[in-house]
């Protein structure tokens, strides 16, 4: 098995496994922070978001949005990172 195949078999926490109330990250108002709890589905995009630092248990803050409404900028794990609404929507944070 190649390295890539091995890492593609990783599994992230999805909505089904969560007991608590959640909201999608793109719904977080600007300037507010919350805690990441999981993802809506589990696929290569989810794994990448995880690898980028969107790790369940970590705090995340929404900083700003681009002049035309998309993408959104977040602070997580000491970095500032830009996601489009569609991707931010897949990350679940504590409501």
Partner 1 sequence: MTHHHHGPAAPTQPGVGRVALVGSPNAGKTTLFNGLTGLRAKTGNYPGVTVARYEGAVETTAGPVVVEDLPGAYSLDPISPDEEIVAAVLDEADSLSGVLLVIDATNLRRGLGLVAQVMQAGLPTAVVLTFVDELVRRGGRVDHEALSRALGVNVIPVVAGERRGVEALREVLADPGSWDEPPFAPPTEPDAVTGWAGSVLKSAHYSQPDPDSRTGRLDSILLHPIWGTVIFFATMYLFFQTIFVVAAPLQGWIEEGFAWLGEIARTNIPIGWLSSFVADALIGGVGGVLVFLPQIALLFVLISLLEGTGYLSRAAYLMDRIMSTAGLEGRAFVALLSSLACAIPGIMATRTLPSAKDRLATMMAAPLMTCSARLPVYVLLVGMLVSPELGWGPFRAQGTIMFGLYLLGAASAMTAAWFFKRVIGRSSVGLPFYMEMPSYRLPKLKTVGISVWDSCKAFLRKVTSIILLTTVVLWTLLNLPVRSTSDLLEAGVDPSDQVAVTAYTLDHSAAAWIGHAVEPVFEPLGFDWRVNVGVLSSLAAREVFVSTLGQIASASDPENPAEALATMTHDSGPHEGEPVFTAPTIAALLIFFVYAMQCMATLGVMRRETGTWKWSLIAFGYLSVAAWLMALLAHTVVGLFV
CB of 23 to partner 1, least distance (A): 19
**Which own/partner contact pairs does 14-23 have at CB distance under 8 Å and 24+ positions apart?**
14/38, 14/39, 14/40, 14/41, 14/42, 14/46, 15/39, 15/40, 15/41, 15/92, 18/92, 20/94, 20/95, 21/94, 21/95, 22/92, 22/93, 22/94, 22/95, 23/92, 23/93, 23/94, 23/95
Q: By rule CB under 8 A, what string of x and - marks binding of each residue 11-40 to partner 1? A: xxx---------------------------
Residues 27, 35, 66, 95: which binds partner 1 (CB under 8 A)?
66
Residues 15, 18, 40, 47: which binds partner 1 (CB under 8 A)?
47
| Identity of the residue, 64 or 95, whose beta carbon is nearer to partner 1 in the bound complex | 64
Residues 25, 28, 37, 49: which binds partner 1 (CB under 8 A)?
49
CB of 83 to partner 1, least distance (A): 5
């Amino acid at each position: 098995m190649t390295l890539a195949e091995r890492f593609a078999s990783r599994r992230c926490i999805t909505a089904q496994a969560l007991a608590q109330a959640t909201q999608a990250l793109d719904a977080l108002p600007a300037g507010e922070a919350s805690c990441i709890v999981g993802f809506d589905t589990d696929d290569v995009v989810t794994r990448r978001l995880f690898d980028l630092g969107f790790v369940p248990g970590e705090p995340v803050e929404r900083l700003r949005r681009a002049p035309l409404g998309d993408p959104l900028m977040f602070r997580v794990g000491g970095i500032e990172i830009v996601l489009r609404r569609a991707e931010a929507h897949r990350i679940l944070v504590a409501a």
